[in-house]
Chain A
Amino acid sequence: MVDVAMAVRRLGAETIETVRGLGEFGVFSWRLTDAGWRPPLRIGRLVSEVYDVGVLSLIIITVSGLAVGMVLGLQGHNTLVRFGAEESLGAVVGLSLVRELGPVLTALLVAGRAGSAMAAEIASMVVTEQLDGLRMMSVDPLDFVVSPKAFAMLLAMPLLAALFVTCGIFGGYFVGIVLLGGDGGNYLSALESAVNFEDDVAGGLLKAVVFGALVGLIATFRGFTAAPTSAGVSAAATSTVVVASVATLVFDYIITALWGV
């Protein structure tokens, strides 16, 4: 009897803890967005963060995009050749990249490469009491440190996703046409007639924007609320990658189910 009561009590405590965490995240997101809009706009800080998130992710994004496109080209060609439909290779590569793989893989890669670094940086500022130092000088750390990071993520993600997709299309072209000897004109015309702007490209961009906001908010939140210990820094980086990746995949399903992109 006592055991049952204890179990129920633990369930209740867990639930309260979960809801409290979500609420904290909501309040944090709201305050961050609010601080980001208000003047003074930290353009210099934003550019600096876009450098960290965007420019430093260029190599991983282009190489991964090319590799994914090449795999798609090879797999697609091997499957389509059985039905004598190699000429639709462009449609297969283009649609899967634009609608799914481009935004999702970009978000996963950026969460791993830039999101974890972002969380660790903010968390180490918490540990070394730099954020408290800012507060002491009556500078809001949310406005000065955190919100440029989240907005840089939001800004960079669609651009990185577009770059990923473009690289992937050329990776697929390279394998399907140059290596396996398909027809280049067919590849591009199948691609262009299968992919259209309103459904596919705009949908992919919507996903990239949502994922950018998610990864940026989760990374900054995890860093900002990290425990002020060295273990707290590593925990913030790890949980950023885990939570941001899962959130990306879950929201990918939700967006696809709601708007069919």
Chain B
Amino acid sequence: MQDSQGGWGRDLWVGLFVLVGLLSLAYLSFQVGGVQYRGPGGLSLVAVFDEVGSLKPRAQVVVGGVKVGQVEAIHLDRDFRARVFLELDGDLALPSDTSASILTAGVLGDQYIALEPGADERTLVSGDQIEYTQGAVILERLIGKLVQNLGAGPKK
């Protein structure tokens, strides 16, 4: 090539530059951005809660504190309960009496769903519904109840 920088060294540097740029991109996308290949055959479950609090799509789903999936969507049921769709790792064999509860990470943290595996022989397959659920605890209601109970308590 007739370029001034001279073929070899220039090509090498450009190659290195593109490589470093692509590596940064990959780091941002996969590590930071959390793109993950969840191949066909992920486990999709449904759980119905009375109250989801501030649970949002993409919230974590954990078993024993380990992340196994995320909340895909939240819809309102016909009987005004929240129907939460979960997308979990495909090779997860959860017993069919697994229970789901909405918890909060820290005092002001995000809400997430914790699954507690039961002891049943049968396992949940895609499309199944989780029977035992425990909705989110709303702090204001809890305090309200506490104040009421204290007020109504025995006076000495």
List the interface of chain A (C-beta within 8 A of B).
Answer: 44-45, 47-48, 50-51, 54-55, 58, 85, 94, 98, 156, 158-160, 162-163, 165-166, 169, 191-193, 195-197, 200-201, 204-205
Contacts and interface: CB of A to CB of B under 8 A. Distances in A.
B33 A197 contact: yes
Interface string B37-78: 000000000000000000000101000000000000000000
B79 interface: no
A114 B3 CA distance: 18
Contacts of A55: 13-14, 16-17
A44 B21 CA distance: 20
13 contacts: A47-B10, A48-B1, A50-B14, A55-B13, A55-B14, A159-B24, A160-B21, A163-B20, A163-B21, A166-B24, A166-B28, A196-B33, A201-B28
B25 A162 contact: yes
Q: What's the dominant secondary structure at chain B's contact region?
A: helix
A90 to B, nearest CB: 9
B22 interface: yes
Nearest to B28: A201
B21 to A, nearest CB: 3
Given A51-B13, A55-B13, A201 B21 contact: no
Which of A45, A54, A98, A200 gathers most chain B CB within 10 Å? A54
B14 A47 contact: yes
Given A48-B10, A158-B25, A165-B28, A58 B33 contact: no
B32 interface: yes
A118 B33 CA distance: 34
Contact of A159 (B11, B21, B110): B21
Interface string B75-100: 00000000000000000000000000
